[in-house]
Amino acid sequence: MPKLPFYQVDAFASRPFEGNQACVMPLEDFLPDAILQTIAAENNVAETAYLVRKSENTWALRWFTPAVEVPLCGHATLASAHVLFEEYSFKGEAVHFETVHSGSLIVRRLADGQLEMDFPCGPVQEIPVTDDVATALGARPVQAWGGMFYAARFETPEEVEALKPDQRALKDLGVPGEGWDRGNFGCFAAGGDGVDVTSRFFAPGSGIDEDPATGSWHTMLARVMSERFGKTDLKCRQAFPGRGAFIDTRLEDDRVKLIGTSVTVIEGSFTL
């Protein structure tokens, strides 16, 4: 029976049991989509990343949640680069990923050992807060934006950490971002213990009630924080109960740099 290489990585983490889990599976060629989706469902973590090498420093990259293929995933990209640098001993300065919906993504290894991702950052637009969204979130945001996702601002980090949304109601609300369904909500407040912004990310529209560490959300958060507070460099905390993550961001025109580390927690093979 065929065996596929398999790594489970805690991304945006300095030690096991922090950050967000991703499975990384380097392949010779992409398998049929139905099989890729079935494997991701079996893995049952936020994202499974599939890599196919195209040249010396370039890989094709795709991401699947247990339910759908997504157009962009930050933590699984970080995990993929981590596997190439640490487990496959890639010696280059930067890994290049070619993606279907998000173009070319570059991940560089910094002098301190952290990895820096270079991601696109789309425009955002302030939108009204509606009663159905406030009811589904269980609290009324003071401000909201539409873009890749729905971004909801609260006054204090404590309000964000206390949120207990109705996930079934949330799934059909929000904004349909480019390549994304409704039901993807980033909730944030300026400030927090030693950070510039504290957030959580609810994604029932992508098959995940709450994501522990979300790179794609932080590209939008970087834009929103720049427009609302004039900050282009951020220390961010994603306050997922029991795990959470710290992500540094830097907005540069229409790109965002996302900086973090990862830890391999499982290495083995997947048997088809």
Mark whether 11 and 85 lie in a shared domain: yes
Mark whether 181 and 243 lie in a shared domain: yes
Total domain count for the chain?
Answer: 2
Mark whether 93 and 40 lie in a shared domain: yes
What are the DSSP calls for the chain, one per residue? --EEEEEEEEES-SSTTSSEEEEEEEESSPPPHHHHHHHHHHH-SSEEEEEEE-SSSEEEEEEE-SS-EES--HHHHHHHHHIIIIIS---SSEEEEE-SSS-EEEEEE-TTS-EEEEEE----EEEPPPHHHHHHHTS--SEEEESSSEEEE-S-HHHHHT----HHHHTT-S---TT--S--EEEEEE--TTSSEEEEEEEGGGTEEEES--HHHHHHHHHHHHHHH--SEEEEEE--TTS-EEEEEEEETTEEEEEE-EEEEEEEEEE-
Residue 4 in this model has a pLDDT that exceeds 70: yes
The predicted-structure confidence for 180-229, as pLDDT tens digits, reads as follows 889 999 999 999 999 999 999 999 998 889 999 999 999 999 999 999 99
Residue 1 in this model has a pLDDT that exceeds 80: no
Average pLDDT, the chain: 94
CATH number at residue 7: 3.10.310.10
Mark whether 12 and 55 lie in a shared domain: yes
Mark whether 113 and 39 lie in a shared domain: yes
pLDDT computed for residue 101 by the predictor: 87
Domain that residue 195 falls in: 125-253
pLDDT computed for residue 224 by the predictor: 97
pLDDT computed for residue 20 by the predictor: 93
Mark whether 159 and 96 lie in a shared domain: no
Residue 173 in this model has a pLDDT that exceeds 80: yes
Question: Is 47 an annotated catalytic residue?
Answer: yes
Mark whether 66 and 27 lie in a shared domain: yes
Mark whether 248 and 131 lie in a shared domain: yes
Mark whether 35 and 109 lie in a shared domain: yes
Mark whether 42 and 130 lie in a shared domain: no
Mark whether 24 and 45 lie in a shared domain: yes
The predicted-structure confidence for 47-72, as pLDDT tens digits, reads as follows 999 999 999 999 999 999 999 999 88
Catalytic residue, chosen from 47, 69, 116, 161, is 47
